[in-house]
Structure 1
Amino acid sequence: MSDVSTDQVPEPGQFVRYLGLELTEVSGDQVVGTWQAGAPLHQPYGIVHGGAHCSVVETLASYGAAVWFGDRGQVVGVSNTTDFYRAVREGTLTSRATPVHRGRSQQVWIVETHDAEDRLVARGQVRLQNLPADTM
């Protein structure tokens, strides 16, 4: 994580490491990550499984929302809708999360994934609930 203060962002868990997702920028305004399309993430027809795309969408949105909410508490995803535009078998993918809404109780983030030729592969939206520390 190059543009990230490690005290702001928790270490990725095993699942995120399995996806091969490398966070290159994390802030409350944008999260960027790269990952590799390949056989470990394929569904039976030899393309990246939609669940892998959804997982990347959820991960980037959650990191951004958590950094923005900061010490005020925690955030949890309550909705993830991801659309798929282009099948991918191999190569580097870059996903970018940006906020659409950051309110008192909820946030909405959009995540777009592009291939190495900058073609849109998938686009997801995640709605997150802000859980203030004094209510947990």
Structure 2
Amino acid sequence: MPPPGSTWVTRPRPHIDRIASAWLLKRFCDPAARFAFADAADAARKGVPFDILGAEFGHHGEDCTFETLVKRFGIKDRRVKLIAEIVHEADLHDGKFTRQESTGVDLAIKGLAAATKDDHDLLERGMAIFDGLYSVLKQKT
């Protein structure tokens, strides 16, 4: 596993899987994690690539990046597992999960992306959505 305080690098203009994955890394894996954006060719030089084609921490098999991270870091939290289903469906649209929240969370992230030009700002705002989702799922579980 990457050491604490690593810089995690993904493609510019993050969408649901990348934002959710950054939230997971920061909240459950490495509170000191930092994030950067780069094209796929430069990502490995700038830090630990995630959600980039061929990256260790990316899509594998039927899993989106968020699911890969949950498995690799051994996260067992029930609410995180529910969020994994939401992110999977919003990212892949393959019908594997039928979480009703997927459409709304995806729409909220797309709205933030449309209204936010700075990628770091977009990541922070998107992570706040996942903080709220995690909190409300506590009430349901």
Higher CA-based Rg: 1
Q: TM-score, normalised by structure 1?
A: 0.27
Relative to total residues, which structure has the larger strand share, 1 or 2? Answer: 1
Relative to total residues, which structure has the larger helix share, 1 or 2? Answer: 2
